Amino acid sequence: MSQIQGWTLLFVGLSFAVYLYIAWRSRVKETKGFYVAGQGIPAVANGAAVAADWMSAASFISMAGLIAFLGSDGSVYLMGWTGGYVLLALLLAPYLRKWGKFTVPEFVGDRYSEYVRLIAAVAAIIVSFTYVVGQMRGGGIVFSRFLNLSIEGGVAVAAVVIFLYAVLGGMKGITWTQVAQYTVMIVAYLIPAWTIAQKMTGFPVPQVTFGQILGELDALSEKFGLSAYTEAFAARPQLDVFLVTMSLMIGTAGLPHVIIRFYTTKSVRGARFSAFWALVFIGLLYTTAPAVGAFTKLNLMSSVDGVAVASLPAWVGNWAATGLVTVSDTASTISTLSNDPESGADLIVNNDILVLATPEIAGLPAPIVGLVAAGGLAAAMSTAAGLLLVISSSVSHDLYFRVVKKKASESQRLLVGRIAMGLAVVVAIYGGINPPAYVAQVVAFAFGLAASTFFPILVLGIFWKRANAVGAASGMIAGLVFTASYMIWTLDVFFTQAHEFVWGISPEGIGAIGALVNVLVTVVVSKLTSPPSEHVQEMVEEIRYPARRVTAPVPDAE
């Protein structure tokens, strides 16, 4: 066993033991504990859990890799994901916490009607399944490289561990596990970044020093046949940059698994302070990611520039064994680099490996490599657990309890929820083994679907009393169908080949237009049909004003 494998096993084994111990100690027997952790989580702890939920495999594993290859255009992920958090904190989180209950579809049902709740539950399942695919893929990549498992085997192992601690403790167990996972992942992300910054610039604060290398990075990028790293709109048209940023922003604010985190706090004030602490914790990683992308790309290109294929550094062979790095059979030396498998470049590097490979590329010691592997697994599992809980709650609480068996007991609802979580894990394993794109891209698709379904309906439901059930149902369906259809059309998922983008709009950016479609359809249909009842409009007033107490009404029977 190599040193890297040994340290990886140590860190991964210790962290897994901690996660499962927390889940065992936090196991629950009632639905309130399973879905919203008994609404007793302190603000600081909930902020760390929100950050762990947020900083998924896309943030930890793939985002810096995308920034490395997209250059300045990669900032769409930073701006979209952090900007969306501000929208969530200002427009949704405190109001939905004041209203209370368990799930996002439950608010939709009380605000509009029961059949709109069903649409919302189905949409939540679709969004969460899309998102969890990226997390499973991220876990599989870590296991594949560092523990000599196949990616398929790695996805399965990650899924089993996630299922065990999620099904035992529900939201309560997941929350305290995510606090531990945040600690693991932020330490694993910052230590290599600080070490590399010190090694390359003489000062260990990457956010301050990575600007010193941008000139050299531009020159090397052009030498390898790539656009200058700092050149704007080289990878995406300007319109698409705007739309992707907007899609990620409003999609972030509409993600059910993030919104329900604010249901777990002790009060509305706790929800607001959770938002503050989460932004602090998220900022530690998000301000570091651009530096990690720049440093790693420079180290990568410097280590292979003009090097004979037979003399490539060890990290190339290590990652080539996973199939995520490819060396051309016809090249004698490396002179071209790409992340596109169809480019024909001498060296093709998958976006998803750069952060995990950062310590090896920089020549850092084996313990740091193992720590980064544990951090990558923590990132994938922290978000996947929250997503599985959303799927479970949508099936058991919003479909089974509300439609199939309204008099179901606590134990029956918990059993159905756990069975639903198990089935979701099986589907997620398949998606993780056969993803439609890179981890961050798959996650971006989930954000687009959330942007086109939940965000408009939630904001209109809180701030526009005239929005009614017919309008909300029409808007959600229109937004979801429009966005999903464009994504399927432009990806080679169901077709033999991908189709051209319309006006240069990528599938990651179409969610912003889908949200606009949702808003327009909701407003027009609501105006053309009867307004909500007086008690529904009174509930909207109660949610918006701090002094009033919310009493959820009986939904309209429209």
Cα–Cα distance for residue pair 525/510, rounded to 1 Å: 22
177: which 2 tokens?
A: 């596990």
Cβ atoms of residues 381 and 181 within 8 Å: yes
| Measured CA distances, 171 to 260, 382, 388, 389 (Å) | 9, 12, 10, 7
Lowest mean pLDDT, pick from 87-101, 365-379, 506-520: 87-101
Q: Which residues, at least 6 apart from 400, have a Cβ–Cβ distance to it below 8 Å? A: 408, 413, 416
Cα–Cα distance for residue pair 359/366, rounded to 1 Å: 8
Whole-angstrom Cα Rg for the chain? 23
pLDDT at position 102, please? Answer: 65
| Measured CA distances, 491 to 418, 429, 478 (Å) | 33, 20, 20
pLDDT at position 471, please? Answer: 95
Q: For the residues of 77-109, what is the DSSP string, one character each?
A: HHHHHHHHHHHIIIIIHHHHHHH-SS-HHHHHH
pLDDT at position 68, please? Answer: 84
Selected residue with higher pLDDT from 440 and 157: 157
Cα–Cα distance for residue pair 374/122, rounded to 1 Å: 33
Nearest to 471 by CA among 526, 515, 520, 514: 526
pLDDT in tens, 492-526: 555 445 567 888 888 888 999 999 999 999 999 99
Cβ atoms of residues 80 and 451 within 8 Å: no
Cβ atoms of residues 53 and 166 within 8 Å: no
Fold of 3-296+364-544: Sodium/glucose cotransporter (1.20.1730)
70: which 2 tokens?
A: 């997209």
Q: How many CB atoms lie within 10 A of CB 462?
A: 19
Nearest to 71 by CA among 289, 245, 295, 293: 293
For the chain, domain boundaries: 3-296+364-544
Selected residue with higher pLDDT from 546 and 259: 259
